[in-house]
């Protein structure tokens, strides 16, 4: 019998682009079967902690906390320069130029274990009250002025100005300036209980799927549209151009160094336990 892999990926365009060929069986599954679930990134994090996936895309914040039981696959990551989450202010706070400074203020974050939350806690410790919401609720609530600030991810990075919101800071740019490393947002991790050969086959299928879409980007659009919050094709492809790069194909030495730096800074800030071993990349 074929091994069935419980695979979780996010609904964001870079994932549906990368996994389009796998999901539609346009590449060889190499003797495996895939049970694919698409969820919001924090739902993926939560279900990975609950042991409901064999392989899943997750925030690198979550991956660090799971590093004793998970290994990072070389392909499928979102990592790079100019890819970071944006700290935005509400329409009202944008007019006053306010920044996070008071515990009476509220900052919306897209999930407790997201890398976006980790970055906000790194750069704005003890500044405001954090409220965790689904990422798609953040900009609407800032427009409605029911929160002061929000850490924006995914397609909203390209559309926030149309909503009259203010840019407090690009958290990715700050990371780059402080570390000289690309920002590791999320990656594909596999349960180390799986045989190494199975993990290597999963990695090979994922890389085949990614290269399939890179060779024919327009062919992935129908799959991307099905799950996207933003339906404009130009925005979807802009998202792919930003988040899918050489490090998505293979993390390599630079990707490994960026993960080590994230682990180091998160430990120093007390965001993850100091005994956290750090992430290992499947070889």
Neighbouring C-alpha atoms within 13 Å toward the C-beta of 55:
30
Query: Could you say which of 20, 61, 113, 154 is catalytic?
Result: 154
For the chain, how are helix, strand and coil distributed in percent, rounded to 5? 45, 20, 35
Sign, CA torsion 105/46/167/257: positive
Tokens of residue 193, six digits: 């209980």
Q: How far apart are the first and last CA of the chain?
A: 26
Of 172, 186, 189, 153, the closest CA to residue 77 belongs to 186
C-alpha to C-alpha distances, 250 to 11, 178, 233, 256, 281, nearest whole angstrom: 21, 24, 26, 10, 10
Q: How many CB atoms lie within 10 A of CB 127?
A: 17
The residue with tokens 């994922």 is: 206
Side-by-side strand order, sheet with 106-109: 129-132, 106-109, 149-152, 86-89, 166-170
Per residue in 229-256, is it b (16+ CB within 10 Å) or e — as a string? ebeeeebbbbbbebbbbebbbbbeeebb
| DSSP category for residue 282 | -
154 catalytically annotated: yes
Which of 179, 182, 206, 71 minimizes the C-alpha distance to 123? 179
CA pair distance 131, 224, nearest whole angstrom: 29
Task: Please give the positions annotated as active site.
Answer: 154
């Amino acid at each position: 019998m074929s091994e069935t892999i419980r695979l979780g990926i996010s609904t964001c365009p870079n994932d549906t682009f990368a996994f389009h060929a796998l999901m539609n069986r346009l590449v060889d599954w190499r003797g495996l079967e895939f049970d694919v679930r698409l969820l919001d990134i924090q739902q993926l994090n939560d279900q990975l902690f609950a042991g409901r996936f064999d392989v899943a895309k997750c925030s690198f914040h979550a991956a660090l906390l799971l590093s004793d039981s998970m290994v990072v696959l070389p392909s499928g990551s979102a990592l790079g320069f100019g890819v970071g989450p944006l700290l935005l202010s509400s329409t009202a706070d944008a007019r006053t130029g306010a920044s996070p400074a008071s515990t009476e203020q509220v900052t919306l974050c897209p999930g407790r274990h997201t890398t976006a939350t980790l970055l906000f806690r790194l750069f704005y410790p003890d500044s405001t009250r954090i409220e965790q919401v689904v990422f798609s609720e953040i900009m609407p609530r800032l427009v409605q002025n029911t929160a002061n600030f929000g850490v924006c991810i995914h397609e909203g990075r390209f559309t926030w100005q149309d909503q009259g919101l203010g840019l407090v800071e690009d958290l990715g740019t700050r990371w780059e300036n402080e570390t000289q490393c690309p920002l590791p947002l999320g990656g594909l991790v596999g349960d180390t209980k799986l045989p190494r050969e199975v993990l290597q086959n999963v990695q090979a299928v994922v890389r085949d799927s990614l290269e399939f879409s890179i060779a024919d980007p327009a062919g992935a659009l129908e799959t991307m549209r099905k799950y996207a919050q933003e339906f404009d094709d130009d925005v979807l492809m802009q998202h792919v151009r930003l988040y899918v790069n050489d490090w998505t194909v293979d993390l390599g030495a630079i990707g490994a160094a960026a993960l080590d730096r994230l682990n180091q800074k998160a430990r120093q800030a007390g965001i993850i336990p100091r005994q956290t071993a750090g992430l290992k990349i499947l070889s």
